[in-house]
Structure 1
């Protein structure tokens, strides 16, 4: 949803339980399952496991606020990522599905048919609350059958997580099941902010700042968001780590990652590009962390924004 389209053209992306013996049994079963999830997380040093099998997210739907590490296990045959979008107060995933998804679906259909005017009319139906959505970070693009680890600070509130990489037909993965609500409580966990081995500075004005070369190894990278802005995709900048089989593929990477192009950001990813995670969009002044296991070769840090190469929102470095 939060993908294509130009911001200057549009102003933008429990139930009551009946008391019965059966419901009590179900409630008891659910409680055990939730407890098992909590125990599992605690046993893994508060690492929250997120799994995608095909077009889904398996993740606990209630989390504590504070520093939280997500290990994203992409077991599917597609490249994925996930971003947390913090909803305005009172807005839930039902609002998201009923008020935001329909105009986006219609607009994408028109865009794929090159009917720009009709698509723009659909975007005019985007609900006003969309402009108050905050960026909450997440795990950057990750190759099929791979895993990546990212740490962000979760503030209390209701989040929608999604992946909007596109199918070969041009429609985002979120339309096929990669859309989920996460509630973060006021209760804070006791996790401390990670320590970084290296810092990456990210700025819309200065681009991406990092070293030209680094020794092979496993590192914790801090991504410092010096500023943030909305691009043509209605989202901000992020960091994605990519290994290149050949440096000649840099232009192909820049073209593919430009989600403002309805023909781009589709799977399968061009051969020779391996995405290894990163940190999704955060607000200005915030910091996220990701683990990078670097082997010898050529790598790129790049933002998923329109014309990333032209805007200097990439950094090539060599691992020796």
Structure 2
């Protein structure tokens, strides 16, 4: 599974593509700890919990299809994106060579110095542009639980959240990241049976058939293509519950990380994020589950002005 670029870190990769950085192949092998390999067991659900700015979960998981149940017990919106390291790279490499560069660049951008901020990313190590982004769990509001299913190859991964705090700092800079080993041991989980089919593409936006009903729904997201948008990132799909006070224009603007008020952790009035899927490569399929009550909802991508791209689509769930 490969992607064109995503988060906090995803964001930087796409910036690197934009400014013409070249990939540098790393020929070292990922060494998966044999003790961890022996302990890993196939499982139906992998639990992830956040109480503040952390991911509480096991360190080693099976390869293949994995279902993740994410409980956001904190007071801010979060998500979980999976990033597969190049061979031979570890979390220590990221701490020493990536986070300081990222922090400096974001500070400049938050000060309104966009040109200087983006130029700062020229200091990123060459290996960083070989990171692969393999999906994850979409935006989740405080006290909500989300479920997503993605397929993972063996290797070493970083998971993180790059939603912003009120001061403009990304959550990952505050420690919201974790290194995960995906074992050579395969999971026995089968691909889910979807109840709602959704496709997303740069040409047609988000598409799905009307008639979504209440109750537990399993959304199948087919990525028809993938591209770098104006904010240097690809597209993904999130599901939101819209109260009567929800303003679509405000939500539309909030989805752009580069806007001063974009992607701030306190969210948007009248909008509850229920999960979804992070960016995945063209041709890939991911799944997420949502328990829908009667009311108004939307599927939306984290891109600048998703409404103009057909990536903000509302729907209503009727009473039974």
> Same-fold call, TM > 0.5?
yes
Partner of 1:100: 98
Single out whichever of 224-233 and 157-166 deviates more from structure 2. Answer: 224-233
Matches of 1:286 and 1:119, distance apart in 2 = 32
TM-score, with length taken from structure 1: 0.86
Partner of 1:70: 68
- Cα drift, residue 262 of structure 1: 4.1
- What's the secondary structure of 2:62's corresponding residue? strand
Question: What is the aligned counterpart of 2:272 among 271, 274, 295?
Answer: 274
- Cα drift, residue 242 of structure 1: 0.5
Question: What is the aligned counterpart of 1:244 among 237, 242, 245?
Answer: 242
Question: What is the aligned counterpart of 2:221 among 211, 223, 230?
Answer: 223
Contact 2:246 2:269 in 1 (8 A): no
Runs (4+) off by over 4 Å: 4-7
| 2:165 equivalent to 1:167 | yes
- What's the secondary structure of 1:181's corresponding residue? strand
Runs of at least 5 residues in structure 2 that lack an aligned partner in the other structure: 1-7, 23-34
- Cα drift, residue 134 of structure 1: 1.3
Single out whichever of 1-10 and 228-237 deviates more from structure 2. Answer: 1-10
Runs of at least 5 residues in structure 1 that lack an aligned partner in the other structure: 13-29
For residues 1-320 of structure 1, the aligned pairs below 5 Å read 1-2=8-9, 3=11, 6=15, 8-9=18-19, 11=21, 46-246=44-244, 249-320=247-318
Contact 2:196 2:212 in 1 (8 A): no
Q: CA RMSD in A?
A: 2.1
- What's the secondary structure of 2:165's corresponding residue? coil
Quick check: which has more Rg, 1 or 2? 1
Count, aligned residues: 295
Matches of 1:69 and 1:310, distance apart in 2 = 32
Partner of 1:17: none
Closer/same/farther in 2, CA of residues 255 and 10 from structure 1, 3 Å limit: farther
Contact 1:10 1:123 in 2 (8 A): no
Contact 2:245 2:270 in 1 (8 A): no
Contact 1:247 1:298 in 2 (8 A): no
